[in-house]
Structure 1
Amino acid sequence: MNKLLYQYQTGKKPFELFFSEVERNEFENLFDDINFISHSSRLRKYHLNVTDKNKNDIRTNCLDFDSEGKFLLSGNNDGSILLFALDDKLKNGQLFNKKIQYCKRPHSDDRKQMEKLIPQKRNREDTIRQVHSFETNRNKFRMYRQSSSLSSEDEINNSKMDDLEAAQGESHHGGITTMKWYGEDNGMFFTGSNDKIIKIWDTNQFKSVQDLEFEYMINQIDNVENNFMNEIIAVASDDYYPRLIDLKNMNLGITIFGKKTVTSHLKENSELKSEILTCKINPQRGNVICSGDADGSIKLWDLRMTNRLLIELRRFSKASNGYGNGTRAHLQSCTDLCWSNTGDELCSVGTDGKCYIWRPFLSDKELISNPQTLGDMDLSRTKFKKRTSQRLIWFNDYIICNTDNSEVHIYETNTGKLWNKIEQNTHEESNLLVSPGKRHHIPGTSTQFKGMAMQKDLSNGRGLRVLLGSNGDILEYT
């Protein structure tokens, strides 16, 4: 590190390269040559269960840091949500993290009453009424619900609806499958669930202010810190088409893009015929969105071109006749996608045992159709297409992959080789950090990792953090 700093101070190394190497060194220090037996303070636990009564009942499904790295969200298997504040306070010489909010799953009876009353309101001639507004750093948001002139029956129903709207501020009825902070700040966040609902949450009040009902299971949502796209939520669901939600104009509802029209450039063999498992917004090119489906296809969309496909990523094959006629990106389901920080490269993982790095914006189309392979083919790496919505994290020259064999693999992008892995031993009640020639035991539980998140900002009080959901706890490597 001293040599690196000297090179920067003497002008031999530009700031961008200097900062990149500092990030790389800090990341390697998280996992390389760490003995967790003698340095147990490097591993911390966040307990999900609120009381001993429901111990081991709550398990995390997904995790996410806010843009400043000050707050951590946990979406759980019972539909509940936990919010942790991460600060620099010390207690007994150790960093003190506190659980500041908890939103439990509502009663099932409320959901049944809601389903009976909502269709009645939809069948009337509706007008718009504002029910909630709140501000973030850049915008003021107003949320609306439907209303109308009141009859005697309507008065009774609306009285019930007022009570049920309070219930709408509660969490999901099904397990939370995906969650995402608002990219610009921590004023709000979004969650999706098996109950086919996407909720928009006000962080200060810690209640949902808008419920968006889908007809399909929600697999993944995305929102990025991008001036062009931070007011858009990208949605991947069991529908055959990716979805967009415009936060600036909620009255327009949910936008479907990619449907085949007369003017569409979708080819016959590129029609969307399977559910969308993953959908990610490019962090630099905010108008570009990628989607991966259960058929193994990866498609890029340009939002400036309505209903038009920008490109479909296909692998070159000798039997094909030129670019675009090769095999699909994955022979089986594409379970997750992840952009690099620059937005120039795209990583994908599928149930065909392959993990690729694509460069879709190259001018040479033949190079696009020859992606880099990460690691060896491993069918056990991703056996289930919907076990978790958080499989890939790209940081600097490394990609973290959450696998289905109780391991988290870390690949080096420059070489495409497996650099390190975190393993959960299913026979012993422990987690293992495995590096070449070393096996380090970590107290833990015998279950697969589910949620996964990384705090990437070095200027944060604690620097880099990697968190993994494990049974009733969240494990932090720092």
Structure 2
Amino acid sequence: MMDLDRVTRSYSIINVLERVRAGVLDSRAVIIYGSLKRSYHLNLSKLKDFENILQSATNQMDIDCTEGKYLLCGQGDGSICIYNVNNYTGTPHFTCNVECMVDKNNRHAHKFSTECVQWYPFDTGMFLSSGMDKKLKVWDTNTLIPVETFSIEGKVYQHHMAQNSLIAVASSTNQISLIDIRKGSSAHELRGHTSLVLTCRWSPAEEYLLASGSCDRKVLLWDVRSAKSFLKCLDQYNSNSQSTSTAHNGFVNGLCFSENGLYLLSCGTDNSLRLWDVCWGRNELVNFGDVPNYSKKCVQLDVRTVVGSGVAYVPSGSNVLVFDIGSGRNIRTLHGHFGTINGCRFHPYLQELYSCGNDRNILVWSADDTEVIADKDEDSWSGDEN
């Protein structure tokens, strides 16, 4: 995996355009270069913000992957908000307004904190939510009424729906519940952790591959077609002992796959971030340094990958740390929140980052185009960077 910092410092936009015209680089290099640059140069947006109506902390968010138009947010008081993030005003200054909302006083709302929300992967007509009231709800977006409600044995910290319509649920029990939304019933349970499960994520590349993280300090990989046991227990020291292997020296409370599914990023309360090769189940031993993490619940991190390179956005206290996942270098630290940040999501179409936390604010981080196109290193290009 390339060092993003080396790439972005060695190229300028004029370099890239000249090499494209000369036939040295493919025309797609302009798009790749621009995307890398924008992922690198994020700052608090001066043009875009969110309508400030939130009455409690925002726990997690999700961007619809079909239109890229709506941001779904789960609140600490049980309410759910849907924002429209597209700008149709004709002016650069724009406030994202609430499109619709499930208020905490709504009889269908979660009784306690809404910990996790997710859009239905195929359209915006449906979304899912789960929370501390031990409920997983499937909502009709048009009516804002649940069409299905599933009772979970423990408090739900995170759920994730796969392309195959299976929903994995991480809860305060030591097993992962699998729910088949097509049948409207629980499929089976995955047993392997010895303590409560804080996070779970499906692979974007393999529809039956699931990763889970727990307070037992382990990250387990599952092939859910086999209910007998987990596929692999990731070990931070790359040993072969499955019984004593641990991924972190503290609770594992955050997981995120790269977009191609080849890598998995995990974070833990041991203040560490680890990059894993999914195919071999191996710790890549990338040194990210100290990543403060004192959260007692799931932390939502995000990864942006572009052709062999990648950027990780990791909540850490009241800051978002931006890392090049190839070298582990801390590219940037985003300051702006006044409380603990619970989650962040990168918008792949608008090339901007959203972060939310206990200060009741949702912030927008976007690239400063004057910085992105700055041609500081016009003569530093070399052929071996191609």
TM value normalised by structure 2: 0.83
- Flag the 1:307–1:325 CA change in 2: closer, same or farther, 3 A: closer
Distance 1:385 1:16 in 2: 43
The residue matched to 2:182 in structure 1 has which SS?
coil
User: How far does residue 282 in structure 1 lie from its aligned partner after superposition?
Assistant: 0.2
Q: Is the 8 A contact 2:217 2:252 kept in 1?
A: yes
Q: Is the 8 A contact 1:323 1:369 kept in 2?
A: no
Stretches of structure 1 lacking an aligned partner (at least 5 in a row) = 50-56, 108-166, 260-270, 363-367, 424-430, 432-444, 458-462
Does structure 1 residue 201 correspond to structure 2 residue 112? no
Distance 1:73 1:216 in 2: 24
CA deviation digits over 1:179-219, x for unaligned, max 9?
11111221211001111101101112122211111120001
User: How far does residue 358 in structure 1 lie from its aligned partner after superposition?
Assistant: 0.5
Counterpart among 46, 55, 78 of residue 51 in structure 2: 46
Distance 2:180 2:21 in 1: 46
User: How far does residue 92 in structure 1 lie from its aligned partner after superposition?
Assistant: 5.6
Corresponding residue for 1:258?
Answer: 190
Q: Which amino acid aligns with 1:382?
A: N
Q: Is the 8 A contact 1:241 1:256 kept in 2?
A: no
The residue matched to 2:41 in structure 1 has which SS?
helix
Counterpart among 180, 183, 191 of residue 118 in structure 2: 180
User: How far does residue 96 in structure 1 lie from its aligned partner after superposition?
Assistant: 4.8
The residue matched to 2:175 in structure 1 has which SS?
coil
Distance 1:77 1:347 in 2: 26
- Flag the 1:93–1:348 CA change in 2: closer, same or farther, 3 A: closer
User: How far does residue 12 in structure 1 lie from its aligned partner after superposition?
Assistant: 3.1
Q: Which amino acid aligns with 1:21?
A: Y
The residue matched to 1:242 in structure 2 has which SS?
strand
Paired residues, what number? 348
The residue matched to 1:373 in structure 2 has which SS?
coil
Identical positions, percent = 23
Q: Is the 8 A contact 1:62 1:179 kept in 2?
A: yes
User: How far does residue 4 in structure 1 lie from its aligned partner after superposition?
Assistant: 2.4
> Which structure exhibits the higher relative contact order, with contacts defined as CA atoms closer than 8 Å and separated by 6 or more residues?
2
Map of 1:142-291 to 2, 5 A cutoff?
A: 167=107, 170-224=108-162, 226=163, 229=164, 231-250=165-184, 253-259=185-191, 271-291=192-212
Corresponding residue for 2:16?
Answer: 4
Distance 2:14 2:167 in 1: 43
Q: Which amino acid aligns with 1:209?
A: V
Does structure 1 residue 465 correspond to structure 2 residue 374? no
Does structure 1 residue 382 correspond to structure 2 residue 316? no
- Flag the 1:4–1:369 CA change in 2: closer, same or farther, 3 A: same
CA deviation digits over 1:263-315, x for unaligned, max 9?
xxxxxxxx421111111000011110011110111111112223232111113
Q: Is the 8 A contact 1:285 1:343 kept in 2?
A: yes
Distance 2:30 2:223 in 1: 34
**Higher share in helix:** 1
Distance 2:227 2:114 in 1: 31
Corresponding residue for 1:66?
Answer: 64
Distance 1:377 1:27 in 2: 22
User: How far does residue 64 in structure 1 lie from its aligned partner after superposition?
Assistant: 1.3
Counterpart among 281, 287, 292 of residue 213 in structure 2: 292
User: How far does residue 325 in structure 1 lie from its aligned partner after superposition?
Assistant: 6.5
Distance 2:243 2:133 in 1: 38
- Flag the 1:287–1:13 CA change in 2: closer, same or farther, 3 A: farther
TM value normalised by structure 1: 0.68
How large is the RMSD of aligned CA atoms in angstroms?
2.3
CA deviation digits over 1:58-115, x for unaligned, max 9?
33222111112101111111111111122331266523532121111247xxxxxxxx
Distance 1:338 1:293 in 2: 14
Map of 1:405-444 to 2, 5 A cutoff?
A: 405-423=317-335, 431=336
Corresponding residue for 2:229?
Answer: 308
Corresponding residue for 1:126?
Answer: none
Stretches of structure 2 lacking an aligned partner (at least 5 in a row) = 1-12, 367-386
